[in-house]
A and B are shown apart, each in its own frame.
Chain A
């Protein structure tokens, strides 16, 4: 059972806009920023969004993030076949034993 809650799957057709949600609590998303990772099949995760809505150099602006209260969202516009991957949200948890927490992951299928 993951600390952050994501839908297990999402799908869209090429060119569509898709959103993936991530729900947490006051000790993680509610008090710290959210990051998003993309994991293509058989590869290591890659940082997609940090600090709720910032893109590292090289990440297309088709990817955007937002946060409100204890929830966050990742939006992918102009969906492409190469976007088919697993997506994970993450946040630092400030509870007694500080640690990173992750969502269970959302498998995005491009139809």
Chain B
């Protein structure tokens, strides 16, 4: 069974930093691209970042470019998101999501971790 478990969310002040982690199990993590997708309270889904299976290709949403860094450790079956210079508008639930290129779809999502940026 595919499992994606996010951690690292919490309350942080504007301008602060946070590092999210996602522990993957139930599939060959090193064979799949991964994404971070977020959802502000009461709002829709917003894609944040993509990383290919070997980390050779990385994309960011314009709204986080230069502030967020996606990375992965295939030996630890883990995905990360380093978030710096956080703003109030970064508040929301952050989902780790598996990318299935053969289907051109995000096919599995974690349960999410809540990030709140507030003073």
Q: How far is the CB of A1 from chain B (nearest CB, A)?
A: 10
- Decide: A45 near B50, CB < 8 A? Known: A32-B104, A105-B44: no
- Decide: A102 near B46, CB < 8 A? Known: A47-B106, A50-B107: yes
User: Using Cβ atoms and an 8 Å threshold, which residues of chain A touch B37?
Assistant: 100
Q: How far is the CB of A15 from chain B (nearest CB, A)?
A: 28
- Decide: A35 near B47, CB < 8 A? Known: A97-B59, A98-B59, A99-B61: no
- Decide: A102 near B105, CB < 8 A? Known: A44-B111, A97-B59: no
A54's closest neighbor in chain B, by CB? B103
Counting contact residues on chain A (CB < 8 A from B), the size range is 20 to 34
Counting contact residues on chain B (CB < 8 A from A), the size range is 20 to 34
Contact, CB under 8 Å: B111 / A103: no
Tell me, yes or no, whether B110 is within 8 Å of chain A by CB: yes
Contact, CB under 8 Å: B47 / A101: yes
B96's closest neighbor in chain A, by CB? A44
User: Using Cβ atoms and an 8 Å threshold, which residues of chain B touch A100?
Assistant: 35, 37, 47, 50, 106
Contact, CB under 8 Å: A103 / B44: yes
12 cross-chain CB contacts under 8 A: A33-B104, A35-B104, A45-B95, A45-B109, A47-B106, A86-B44, A97-B60, A98-B50, A99-B50, A99-B59, A100-B47, A102-B46
Q: Which of A's residues lie within 8 Å of B, judged by CB?
A: 2, 32-33, 35, 37, 43-47, 50-51, 54, 56, 86, 88, 90, 92, 97-105
